[in-house]
Chains A and B, each alone.
Chain A
């Protein structure tokens, strides 16, 4: 579906109607070690971190990208933000093709907040120094307004004016993440990409940052791409959710639809695996069996088939494409049986001990 929408975006070069950001056939891969060693190990030499992803983000929406470690969600986010050069595919912003080397003004439009606020801020610069530099380099405001705009930014993320003269080490983790958000917002981005913005923080502090992101969306009409492994956070914050598995998007749907009626067996397993407050583990069979395969040994056909409780012979041969549901075009899944009227029989859950 996103291919189709990317095409329509092409027809309206700067139309407000098209998506803010659209990626088509985006692939990112990394060369690893020598080709000879890889062949000896029967592994691929090239790691396809992101493998032909189509994704679009509407203006003003909050889109979540979820998946396990190694699913390529961070690489995809970095590629969209222009921090990682894609091998193939194109990224369009407001219908305009973004070149591999982005201009400064294009770069400005997508800003990122990273996971670890302890390593993403320059320890030798005061918060004020950091923001002033950014504002001057990018000519965001007139020279004489830099000071007042800095104070305004800090107020926006809930920091006091004293923060201007403070160094990152003087802040707690939650406050540092506020500084990181202020830094990202300083450039008035069209899209804020937040890569696991709360997972390095304590539980009681996470809530303040999540509330801040929610308030900023309401206040500034910010478009947000949230990368997270925490599905509770995603459900709380995002309008739409895309699930990744081994470099592919395997399901996209409005968040509520996805949580209520997941169509891909991996999504269903992921949702069932979340520990619940009042739910003690019943039975011994886990929601999803086995380990995710190495991205260097991607299974043939459907990538999830090695762990899938529904896997059929066809799954080994044919790689299912991301197709949308006939009844709900906003809901797409990459499974042969996602929207089948009669899904195949579930394999009986295997006891932990006999799993192999």
Chain B
């Protein structure tokens, strides 16, 4: 599975080796034990998040994007476990830490924003208290200081009338406001990394627009890094600079958002981009990806996408492609990425 042709190099087992990355995930593997067998939900994922950057992780349901995120912060479901790999945050390997040690890191170093704020917030605790809890526990603030901080955070995330809303319960908030509370909690201990798991999927489009702008702005101001998981490509483009596309537990393409979305080098990315209707440029018909995502108990041999791929050749069924670096600095896990790029360019010329 070596590189073919000039200007390529095989990305090693330990990623591209970017130094100075805040978070470096190398060869992460997560397995879930089920009655039908072992599901390899995450199968050798390497990912770097530079300090102050936002990285998007995109894929369909079952691609392993959420499991990767949960493995980073150590909140995997009980039947899932990390079987291999390293998760280095600021020089500490998170996979080696006990739960008690992780608890010290969750909050001041990493925070997470979930998709459904109603199930992530404590329904019987006042919203202000929930925001103030982190600073009390991790930053050693007293009640008055932490309450002051909570009010300031509520103001920052755009919750109107924070003095009154401080004493409200989550059920008294709208979906968008609850997500603002989640963001305030995530920011409360000034973490260097925030993980977002589909934070706007449950929201209406106007509210989604507000939350995305807020997130982008807060991260820009505070220099916080983001890992943003979503299935929605345009949403990623609003917040992230870097993008990794996952399919069946593996990263299949990685690069800047602009590059990956306008000129996909992996047929799966191309399929995702072509199958979604575009608001501004309606097409006469959509190009769907045939078939459905594979089972992760017994994934297809070779390239996992080959049964659904229109560029697939004989070798795709045998050789398992690894991520390789292209000239432009992005990485693709397709043996025939030139053909994919050619198809994209030909299409561009047609327009």
Q: Which residues of A contact B (CB under 8 A)?
A: 68-69, 172, 174, 202-208, 210-211, 214, 229, 231-233, 235-236, 259, 269-281, 283-289, 291-292, 352-353, 355-356
In this complex, what residue of B is CB-closest to A354? B158
* Cβ contacts under 8 Å, A204 to chain B: 60, 271-272, 275, 288-289
* Cβ contacts under 8 Å, A269 to chain B: 206
Cβ B285 vs Cβ A203 within 8 A? no
* A68-B277 CB under 8 A given contacts A291-B174, A352-B213: no
Interface check B238, CB cutoff 8 A: yes
Interface string of B76-120 (1 = CB under 8 A from A): 000000000000000000000000000000000000000000000
* A206-B213 CB under 8 A given contacts A68-B206, A278-B237: no
Interface check B208, CB cutoff 8 A: yes
* A275-B286 CB under 8 A given contacts A69-B204, A281-B216: no
Cβ A277 vs Cβ B233 within 8 A? yes
Cβ B261 vs Cβ A278 within 8 A? yes
* Cβ contacts under 8 Å, B283 to chain A: 236
Q: Name the interface size band of chain B.
A: 35 or more
* Cβ contacts under 8 Å, B214 to chain A: 284, 352
* Cβ contacts under 8 Å, A229 to chain B: 204-205
Interface check B222, CB cutoff 8 A: no
| CA gap between A356 and B60 in the complex, in Å | 36
Cβ A207 vs Cβ B158 within 8 A? no
Q: Known contacts A207-B287, A280-B257, A286-B213; can you find 9 more A-B pairs with CB under 8 A?
A: A174-B292, A203-B231, A232-B278, A273-B209, A277-B233, A277-B273, A286-B206, A352-B210, A352-B213
| Number of A-B contacts defined by CB within 8 Å | 139
Cβ B275 vs Cβ A275 within 8 A? no
* A276-B275 CB under 8 A given contacts A205-B288, A286-B206: no
Cβ A231 vs Cβ B279 within 8 A? yes
Q: Which residues of B contact A (CB under 8 A)?
A: 60-61, 155-156, 158, 160-161, 174, 176-177, 204-210, 212-214, 216-217, 231-235, 237-239, 257-258, 261-262, 271-273, 275-280, 282-283, 285-289, 292-293
13 interchain pairs, CB-CB under 8 A: A204-B289, A207-B286, A207-B288, A211-B288, A236-B282, A259-B279, A269-B206, A275-B209, A279-B237, A284-B214, A287-B209, A352-B214, A356-B161
Query: Which of A272, A274, A355 is within 8 Å of B234, CB to CB?
Result: A274
| CA gap between A271 and B205 in the complex, in Å | 9
| CA gap between A208 and B155 in the complex, in Å | 44
* Cβ contacts under 8 Å, B156 to chain A: 353
| CA gap between A207 and B275 in the complex, in Å | 5
The distance from the CB of A268 to the nearest CB of chain B, in whole angstroms, is 11
The distance from the CB of A126 to the nearest CB of chain B, in whole angstroms, is 21
The distance from the CB of A64 to the nearest CB of chain B, in whole angstroms, is 12
In this complex, what residue of B is CB-closest to A175? B292
* A288-B206 CB under 8 A given contacts A207-B276, A275-B212, A280-B238: yes
Cβ A210 vs Cβ B237 within 8 A? no
* Cβ contacts under 8 Å, A272 to chain B: 209
* Cβ contacts under 8 Å, B60 to chain A: 202-204
3 tightest Cβ-Cβ pairs between the two chains A and B? A207-B288, A273-B209, A207-B275
In this complex, what residue of A is CB-closest to B261? A277
In this complex, what residue of B is CB-closest to A235? B282
The distance from the CB of A37 to the nearest CB of chain B, in whole angstroms, is 15
* Cβ contacts under 8 Å, B276 to chain A: 203, 206-207, 232
